[in-house]
Chains A and B, each alone.
Chain A
Amino acid sequence: MTMSKRLLISLAAAAAIMAGAGAQAANSEAGKVKAKEVCAACHGEGGNSTVPDYPKLSGQHADYLAKALRDYKSGLRKNAVMAAFAGALSKDDIDNLAAYFHAQPAAVSTRN
């Protein structure tokens, strides 16, 4: 294989990876706006809930948060309040909110 062909293949691969990442990149800023509108009343500013029954979200894993919202929306996870809120969220809203809460100063941590 010639040098230029190798370079071309590497470039194509890099472009493909970047395109993939772009398609999945959640928008934390958009999540922040949504969080203030929809979530903050119960889960607190930045997801640092002060209400014992409502979980702290700040610093939680994004994929876990997104799954929780999808499950509330689909009804797999049953909670009347969250079903209503999650039901009104789009797939992008969910990914953006998960990215936003994950990026906040962590209120929760992994514990042995």
Chain B
Amino acid sequence: MIKPTHFAAAAVAALAAVAPFAAAAQGAPTGNPAAGYQKTQMCSGCHGIEGWRTAFPEVYKVPKLGGQHQAYIVKALQAYKSGERSHPSMRAIAASLSDQDMADLAAYYAQPSLKTAAK
């Protein structure tokens, strides 16, 4: 017989497997903050450093993303990918992201302030 805890774990796993497809059916993928955190390697070199300045083509501090709206972050990444926004590094990075990657990253950054993630 299946132990209740195993059954619960299996149920969670099954839901987790189905959830992305359910969201995809509605058009936009649902973001997963934990998955987003695993994809921040390309972001944190600039956006993870307080006061970091981009050097090209203009010098200014890169925007703070923590706590920003999820929908806006997705829109910003899409705008870089499509060329509506023109920053060269961001265009290249956004072009490499899938819709699911964008949703996950946005979900991660949109979370209210995280003390543990900063460590």
Contact = CB atoms under 8 A, between A and B. Distances in A.
Contacts of A79: 79, 84
A53 B72 contact: yes
A60 interface: yes
A2 interface: no
A54 interface: yes
B33 to A, nearest CB: 11
A19 to B, nearest CB: 22
Contacts of B64: 59-61, 106, 108-111
Contacts of B40: 112
A78 B67 contact: no
Residue in B48, B61, B70, B86 whose Cβ sees the most chain A Cβ within 10 Å:
B61
Interface in B65-116: 65-72, 75-76, 79, 84-86, 109, 113-114
Contacts of A55: 68-69, 72, 76
B63 A64 contact: yes
Interface residues of A, number: 26
The majority secondary structure among interface residues of chain A is loop
Interface in B12-67: 40, 44, 47-51, 58, 60-67
B2 interface: no
B67 A108 contact: yes
Q: Which bucket holds chain B's interface residue count?
A: 20 to 34
B1 interface: no
A66 B63 CA distance: 11
Contact of B69 (A52, A61, A109, A110): A52
A54 B67 CA distance: 13
A77 interface: yes
Contacts of A59: 64
Given A64-B63, A108-B65, 8 more contacts: A52-B69, A77-B84, A77-B85, A79-B84, A108-B67, A109-B64, A110-B66, A111-B66
